[in-house]
């Protein structure tokens, strides 16, 4: 199979159901941002993130592929794909709670950074927030269901918590924001 097809040379691409749309389409921008987020997750994993968090990130990476397919496939399509599930959101909530209990109480804003994994997790969080904003905009124009937006919202919370927890496990203090 060739990597290039030349079908997108004039600025269009295919959704998962075969419909063609412009590459500037909000749906494409949204799932493209989810793909960008997934790439940053890969960078985190490549930078010696603590094993506990790495295991989570490998699951999340697979879920982000599902989310990309979800967003690339209009809900009214007859194609059977794996979409984001409520259980994915519940898993993130469980992990956020599990890690938060082990962290010092958050009383101030913290600056993103710390360890390499922590810094990249903060970057992933900001890209996740962008993906969430795009998914909200998309949901205002098309029906995408409620779970993609909820998942992205919870995932950004998880990524923030995982950045803090990663730095904690690696013995790196957070930098507190001061005026």
Instruction: Quote the pLDDT of residue 60.
Output: 98
Q: Can you tell me the mean pLDDT for 23-52?
A: 95
Q: What is the pLDDT of residues 118-151, one digit of tens each?
A: 999 999 999 999 999 999 999 999 999 999 999 9
Q: What are phi and psi of 71, to 5 degrees?
A: -70, -25
13: Cα within 13 Å, side-chain hemisphere:
14
CB distance 162 to 99 below 8 Å: yes
The structural domains of the chain, ordered by start, are 12-73+81-175 (1.20.1200.10)
Q: What percent of the chain has pLDDT over 70?
A: 100
Instruction: Quote the pLDDT of residue 177.
Output: 83
CB distance 84 to 63 below 8 Å: yes
DSSP secondary structure of the chain: --S--STTTTSEEE-TTS-EEETTSHHHHHHHHHHHHHHHHHHHHHTT--HHHHHHHHHHHHHHHHHHHHHTS-TT---------HHHHHHHHHHHHHHHHTSPP--S-EES-SSHHHHHHHHHHHHHHHHHHHHHHHHHHS---SHHHHHHHHHHHHHHHHHHHHHHHTT-PPEEP--
Q: What is the pTM of this model?
A: 0.93
Please indicate whether residue 3 or residue 154 has the higher confidence score (pLDDT). 154
Q: What is the pLDDT of residues 91-127, one digit of tens each?
A: 999 999 999 999 988 888 888 889 999 999 999 999 9
What rounded mean pLDDT belongs to the chain? Answer: 93
137: which 2 tokens? 């905009």
Residue 178 has pLDDT above 80, yes or no: no
Confidence of residue 68 (pLDDT cuts 50, 70, 90): very high
């Amino acid at each position: 199979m060739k990597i290039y097809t030349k079908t997108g040379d004039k600025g269009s691409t295919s959704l998962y159901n075969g419909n063609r749309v412009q590459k500037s389409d909000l749906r494409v921008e949204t799932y493209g941002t989810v793909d960008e987020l997934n790439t940053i997750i890969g960078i985190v994993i490549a930078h010696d993130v603590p094993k506990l968090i790495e295991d989570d990130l490998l699951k999340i990476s697979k879920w982000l592929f599902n989310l990309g397919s979800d967003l690339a496939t209009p809900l009214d399509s007859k194609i059977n794909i794996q979409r984001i599930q409520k259980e994915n959101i519940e898993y993130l909530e469980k992990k956020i709670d599990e890690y938060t209990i082990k962290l010092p109480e958050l009383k101030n804003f913290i600056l993103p950074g710390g360890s390499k994994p922590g810094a990249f997790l903060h970057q992933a969080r900001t890209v996740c927030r962008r993906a969430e904003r795009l998914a909200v905009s998309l949901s205002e124009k098309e029906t995408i269901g409620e779970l993609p937006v909820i998942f992205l919202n919870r995932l950004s919370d998880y990524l923030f918590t995982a950045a803090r927890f990663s730095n904690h496990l690696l013995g790196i203090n957070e930098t507190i924001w001061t005026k």
